């Protein structure tokens, strides 16, 4: 049962919301798992339903229903209403669990380029794609925009959310491209999230002119927000 493994993947060092998981079911029959992923900068927390929805949309799928046993999910009614999602008691046996790990021998640069076509960008027409290297392989992410701009997710965070929700570990490199940008570069919010997950990682940026540059996460966010007072 996927539900039981999801509880173990929740990342909630700053609260007691250690049970917050959700599975979004796409109209394709695919099930997209999500767990709460808190951040030391609380507003950057990705809630389970938010991330699972973005994971679904980033896969070109349409959210149709969701499953959770958490008492209430942040903005649950909002999301259910926006996407006309029905709440189910359990994940249907017919559903296929979405596996975000790219299989086979992939060429990361070509894969990044391909991925940009999956970006969900009705407002910006500005695609961003990310590949997070994990112990089991690369996990993709693209930017997802929804009606409320504040509730979209950057490509980097979609990739990270998928990896954590699938129980993957060993995050090392993150590759990012924003082909319409002059210089691809993760936003400040993503940098803060990356500091929490791959502070010793390498961020490889593929720029619009075909060049690339590699940076240490820590160099991208000197004086990152942090406090030992916030961990419980």
**Active site residue: 20, 38, 156, 196, which one?**
156
Binding mask 172-191 for ligand THU (x = CB under 6 A): --------------xx--x-
Question: Total binding residues for ligand THU by CB under 6 A?
Answer: 13
Helices (H), 10-144: 48-58, 76-82, 108-115
As a whole number of angstroms, the distance between CA 36 and CA 75 comes to 13
Q: Is 160 in the site for ligand THU (CB under 6 A)?
A: no
Q: Is 124 in the site for ligand THU (CB under 6 A)?
A: yes
Query: Which of 10, 56 has the CB closer to ligand THU?
Result: 56
Q: Which position among 70, 134, 143, 217 is part of the footprint of ligand THU (CB under 6 A)?
A: 143
As a whole number of angstroms, the distance between CA 184 and CA 172 comes to 19
Q: Is 155 in the site for ligand THU (CB under 6 A)?
A: yes
Pick the stretch among 25-33, 77-85, 122-130, 198-206 that binds ligand THU (CB under 6 A).
122-130
Q: Is 217 in the site for ligand THU (CB under 6 A)?
A: no
Q: Which of 164, 165, 207 is nearest to 186 (CA)?
A: 207
DSSP state of 116: G
CA torsion sign for 208, 212, 216, 219 is: negative
Is 86 tagged catalytic? no
The answer to whether 165 and 52 are in contact (CB under 8 A) is yes
Q: Is 117 in the site for ligand THU (CB under 6 A)?
A: no
Query: Which of 90, 122 has the CB closer to ligand THU?
Result: 122
Q: Which position among 152, 168, 174, 203 is part of the footprint of ligand THU (CB under 6 A)?
A: 152
Q: Which position among 75, 80, 102, 121 is part of the footprint of ligand THU (CB under 6 A)?
A: 121
Shortest separation between residue 76's beta carbon and ligand THU, angstroms: 23
78-113 as b/e, with b when 16 or more CB fall inside 10 Å? ebbeebebeeeeebeeebeebebebeeeeeeeeebe
Q: Which of 185, 174, 230 is nearest to 207 (CA)?
A: 185
Query: Which of 7, 207 has the CB closer to ligand THU?
Result: 207
Q: Is 50 in the site for ligand THU (CB under 6 A)?
A: no
As a whole number of angstroms, the distance between CA 118 and CA 129 comes to 8
Name residue, tokens 């940098």.
191
- Give catalytic residue positions: 156
Binding site for ligand THU (CB under 6 A): 121, 124, 126, 128, 143, 145, 152, 154-156, 186-187, 190
């Amino acid at each position: 049962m996927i539900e039981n493994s999801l509880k173990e993947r929740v990342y909630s060092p700053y609260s007691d919301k250690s049970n917050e998981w959700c599975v979004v079911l796409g109209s394709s029959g695919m099930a997209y798992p999500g767990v709460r992923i808190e951040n030391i900068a609380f507003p950057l927390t990705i809630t389970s339903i938010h991330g699972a929805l973005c994971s679904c949309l980033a896969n070109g799928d349409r959210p149709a229903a969701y499953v959770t046993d958490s008492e209430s999910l942040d903005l649950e009614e909002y999301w259910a209403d926006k996407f006309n999602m029905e709440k189910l008691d359990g994940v249907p046996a017919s559903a296929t669990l979405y596996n975000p790990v790219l299989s086979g021998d992939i060429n990361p640069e070509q894969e990044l380029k391909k991925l940009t076509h999956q970006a969900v960008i009705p407002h910006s027409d500005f695609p961003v794609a990310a590949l997070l290297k994990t112990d089991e392989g690369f996990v993709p992410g693209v930017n997802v925009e929804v009606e409320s701009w504040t509730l979209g997710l950057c490509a980097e965070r979609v990739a990270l959310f998928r990896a954590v929700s699938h129980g993957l570990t060993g995050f090392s490199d993150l590759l990012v491209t924003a082909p319409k940008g002059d210089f691809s570069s993760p936003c400040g919010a993503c940098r803060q999230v990356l500091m929490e997950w791959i502070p010793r990682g390498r961020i490889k940026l593929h720029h619009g002119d075909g060049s690339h540059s590699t940076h240490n996460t820590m160099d991208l966010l000197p004086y990152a927000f942090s406090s030992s007072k916030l961990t419980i």
